[in-house]
Every structure is written in C-alpha cells, then in structure tokens.
Structure 1
Amino acid sequence: MSGDQVEAAVASCTATLRAALDRDWDQADAAGLDWSCRTTAFHIAEDFLAYASRLAGRAQARLPLGLTLPEGTDNAGLLQVIEATGALLAAAVRTAPPGVRAFHAEPFGSADREGTAAMGVAEALLHTHDIAQGLGIPHDPPADLAESVLAWLFPHVQPGPAPWPTLLWATGRGALPGRAPVTEWTWYNNLVIPAERVTLTGIRPAAADDLRLGGTGGFDWIEDGPFEGTREACSYLMKAYEAGVHRPEFGVFALVRHEDGRAVGGIGFHGVPDEERRVEIGYDLVAGARGNGYATEALRTLTEWALARDDVDTVIATIEGGNLPSQRVVSRAGFTRATVEEERLAHDEYDMDAGLLLYVRRG
C-alpha cells in the first residue's frame, strides 16, 4: 500500500464524479449519510489533507488545521481540490520513512505510512460510492484497491467472493449472501507496542501472506531473518484471517530494533483468549540477534500488555524440555513453571504435546 494506490483511488473518484459535474450536489444527499453530496466530496479532501499533514508532521494528536473553499467554488473546482489534496497525501506517504507513525484515533491511536495510505484509499472509494448512490451514477472502483483496503484495514473481516462487495458489506453499505448486516464497524490500523529497545509491530494479513510465502513482509530483517517460526506463525494468522476469526490484537508482531529499524524476531499469540481467559504466547529470534535480551524484553512487554486487558487473566507458554535458553527467557519475563496437575491437564485436556513444559504468568 503506497502513494500509487492513493493516486489510483483519487483517479477513480474524480473519473466517477466528473460525469455529474452539471448536477446540483448540494441538493442531493449522499447515500447513508446526513451530508449532501457536495459536503461528502469536500470531506474526502479534508481527510486527505488531515492524513497527509499528520504523517508529514509526525503529529501525535489532531492538528489545528482546516480546509475552506472560496465562495462560488463549483463542482469542477471541488474536484481539483480533491486531486490536489490527494497528491499531497500520496507525496506524504512516499516520503515518510519506514516505521513513522502519526495520530489516528481508531482503534489503537496511530497509523503508519501504509495504514495512512489505506485510509485515504478507503475514504476515496467509500465516499465516492456514497456520492454516486446519491446522484444515481455508477461507481465501480478497481477491485485491487478494495482488496488492498480489506487486507490492510479490515484484518477481522473474512474475505468474500469479491473484494468490492465485501468492503461495502464490511462498512454497512451493502449485503453479502450468508452474512448478517453490519450496523457498526471500525477499521484497524496495526497495533504497535513499544518496549525499551524494540517495538512490537503488528503484522497485517497483507504482510503475513508475504512472509508465509518466503518474503520479508515489508520489514528490513537482519541477516538470515526471519526465523522459520515467524513464517509458520504467519501461516496460522492467514488461516485465521481466511476463516474470519483473526483478531489483530492477538496476532503476530515483528520485533523491530530501535537503533536501526531492522527486524530481529517475532512474537505473538496462538489465538484469542479461551473461556478461562487464558492466552498462549510464542516467540523467536533470528540467530544473529540472540543473547541480547530482546526476547525477554518483548515477552515481558507483550505479556504485561495482555494481562492489563479485561479478557486475559493468564498467559501461558509451552517450551520443549531441552530448550534451556527459552526456559531462561520465560523465567526472566516473570513466568513460573506450572504445577504437575496443571501440566497433566494441559496434556490430557488441551492436547499439549508430550515433551513440552508449561509455564504460566497470571495477572
């Protein structure tokens, strides 16, 4: 997701709306909104400007910045503003360094350059749909743009038979056979959790798919990275995504080193909390990063983040009996060896593999 997709979305938006330049956009209501078509078109430009300025300025809160149109600006002039602010957003995305994040309220408080691009594309596609419905004109955006928005911003939504109808359904704008109507929705930028020397950077389905197929997922890995365990974890993430049960806050995170922005390992959960409010955690490091305490730091950080939630009481880790370094990691991160009875239950009732040891940390 890049400036190229932003430009493509802007082009799709303006091509659709240019067919109705002679209409009175003030007198037609955008579909599903309490705004006129003109107000909705102006909102697209406002969002482009807001996203671009926040990303370019590394803003950590809403900026005291607004956009106004001179009195008498016609529909053609409004489209020029959409094109200009869209170009600003595309440029901001292209020039932002990897890992830079800027404020966005929902749901985790910030967005990186890829997420910012995806939000801009989503605003263009969806609000052009609203305007087109209100004006009674067709709007059929490129399927690959809708597919990218779903993969980058809707990791909790099961892919549908076609991306554009699925995106409309996911945002309460349409029906999808076999699925209940959506009445409330939000998109998800990836979660990032800072630690002392690394940042735990949530891996989106789009990146997980690349990682499971042997790519980098867009991360700059140190030599010989990522470790195979990260790729395997991304395979499970994709299975959950394709089944519609993935929850991004309980997904997989890359460990990105502060000093140079390079990824050194992965950590994540094996799924959502169970009925007993337990969640299992796993981790690995690229060989060249071991022995520096990164795993302990990341494990402690993510465990404490999970235990601070209302839906988690216990975090567990299963470790091979012969893996002494990993046992030392969990011990340093505050885990203790489970009791004999707890291990027996884990083996008998939860199918924990023979030879694995159970470690727990409770809130």
Structure 2
Amino acid sequence: MTLLPPRLYVDVHILQTVPPANLNRDDQGNPKEAYYGGTRRSRVSSQAWKRATRMHFTEHMPTDDLATRTRRVASALTSVLKVRTGLAEEPASRLADALLAPLKISAGRKKGDTAYLLFYGRRQLDNVVGLVSDRAAELAALDDKELQAEVEKLAVEEQFSSGHPLDVALFGRMVADIATLRVDAAVQVAHALSTHAVSLEFDYFTAVDDLAEEERETGAGMIGTIGFNSATLYRYATVSLPQLRENLGEDTAAIEGIRKFVTSFARSVPSGYRNSFAHQTLPSLVSVVVRPDQPVNLVTAYEDPVAPSAGIAAESARRLAAEHRTAVDGWGDSPAFTAVCHAFRDETAQALEEAFGPAGTFPELLNGLDEHLSSAIAEAGR
C-alpha cells in the first residue's frame, strides 16, 4: 500500500427536492427541523441518511461483505456455530460466550446482550468460528475454566480488528471501553437542511371500514393526522481517502469503496412514511470535489434562505456554485478535482460549469473520480 498525504478528501454536495414527506420524524412524530439563518428549516439527521446509505449497500453487495450492528452478537455467533459445527443450542451458546469473553465487552441488561450496539463484519464472525470449527465439540466438552484458558490462546480480538467490511470502514466503530476494537470513521455526513424556510403541515386522513360500508354504516373506521413538509435539501458528506485506505488495507478497495459510497449516498432516501408519501426522488445536482487541504461544507450558501419566488432548486444550485467559487477564490484553496452531474439549463447550467466544470452523467462523474483517485495513488507511489 502506497503512502498518501494525510489529507485527501472527497466532498460530496447534493441538491435534492423532496415532495410532501416525513423522512425522519422527531419525538412528536413530525418531520425533524432546525433553525438556520434565523428561519425554520426542514432537517434530516445524518444518522437517518447514513442508515439509508447502508441499506442501499445491502441491495448491491454480496451478503458476506456486509456488516451488522446489534446488541445480540452472542446470539449471532451462536447461530453461525450451530450451522458450521453442528453443535446444539446450549453448547453453541456456551462456546459463543466464551469466545466473546476476551473482548471484555460490557454486558447489557438483558442476558446475552451487549451494553451497546456492536458493528462487526459478517465475514469477521465467520473467521471467529473458523478458529474453533475443527474442534468445537472438544472445546464445548471442557469445563468453564479449561474452556476459557483454551479460548484465550485464540486470536479472537484480531479477527474483529482486521478485515473490516466496507460499511464499518466507512462509518467507523465506536467501542468506548475497548480501544483496540475502535475503527475511526472515514466518512462524515452532515444533517441535510432545506435551502429555504419551511412550515410544518398536517395531513388529516380517514380510513373506511369496508364491512361497515357494506352495511350502510356512516363515519370513518379510523381518523388520524401525519405531519409533513416539502423541501429542497442541501446534503453534504466527505470521505477521507487515507483513512478509508487504512481501514480497508488496500488501494483498490478504497477507490471502489468511495465509488460505492457516492452511489449509495446519492441514490438512497430515508424510508420514513414511504408508503404514505412515495417520496423517492433523484437529486437534481450531485457534485464531487477532491480537496488536498480540508473538507468544506457549503451550507453557508443558504444562511440567507432562498425565497419561494426564486425557483428554489435553480437558485439553490446557483448559490452553491457561487459559494464554491468563494471557497476557492477567496481562500486560495484549489481543488485537485471537480465534477458535476445536474438537471439545470441556461444561466444555472453556466454558473455550475464555471464553478465545477462541464456537466456529465452520473456514471461519467463516478468514472472521472475513479481515474483521479487512481492517479493520485499512483503518483504518491513514485
């Protein structure tokens, strides 16, 4: 693996217009909001869009290459042991507990649960089972003290500390009381904010009881309300290529990982009330900027909210282009690479071209990013 400068970031800027929806609800069941620039904005939390991105991965990657986040790692390990070794439930569960004991993960309130969600690769769990698969019955027959002594000779911690799947390498793993199990995230995701002011609205709905209707009974079978809003959202994320390469341990895997992240981040949408609003849209703009200095979130373009009469999406795109040029010209920070894919025309398209270069298709954007990152790694290796 070649050495890159410690700073090389891929910034992803997205504008996406969402129709009436409730993508990410608060404790009252209403769409999350935030005050920015003195006005109320629609907000979608970073956690919600990171999970949507991860779920998009699951549709396009082999199951064994994915990760699981759960408190029930002991139960998952027990299941794999039963399948791979033929052990019954009780001895498999006992062996699983013994294998996890050296990690010293704090126990949760419920028997068998950990105190927090553990993010691990499914292949990592298989590798742990591989340590004992040829002698599982022998180990299960030992008493507790002998079993623990045998397990302590095994490289269980090493299996969880290497060979990370892409989602763990991207989003990291925080284990507060076990430093060796921590994985620094290669990705930061901002809360999505509307570029304009929004107002919370409510959908008053009724549902009809089919059988009551047949009997000519009047009135609704159910009445309720759902909070919603509609917004043009500015979405931002940044990926550290050096950190991702460190987490994955391979140049090619890191470049492919960034491609998959940009694809899933752009194409995913949180699923809150999806059946009620069918809110799946594609972004009207995706831009990637490779920076050798620092990540730059361009949300400051919208501190002054876009006026409703301005053509919100187009004005948001022009604001983004102007803010990017300010970051480049005003600070003297020249990006190593820029690319943009968008659906705008006329003066908006011209402003975007001046800021980010000629527009291309989304596959062209991804291919150009791949080529640039491959060249950067090759140059670092000379």
Q: Same fold (TM over 0.5)?
A: no
Query: Could you say which structure has the greater relative contact order, defined with CA pairs below 8 angstroms and 6 or more residues apart?
Result: 2
**Greater CA radius of gyration, 1 or 2?**
2
TM-score relative to the length of structure 2: 0.29
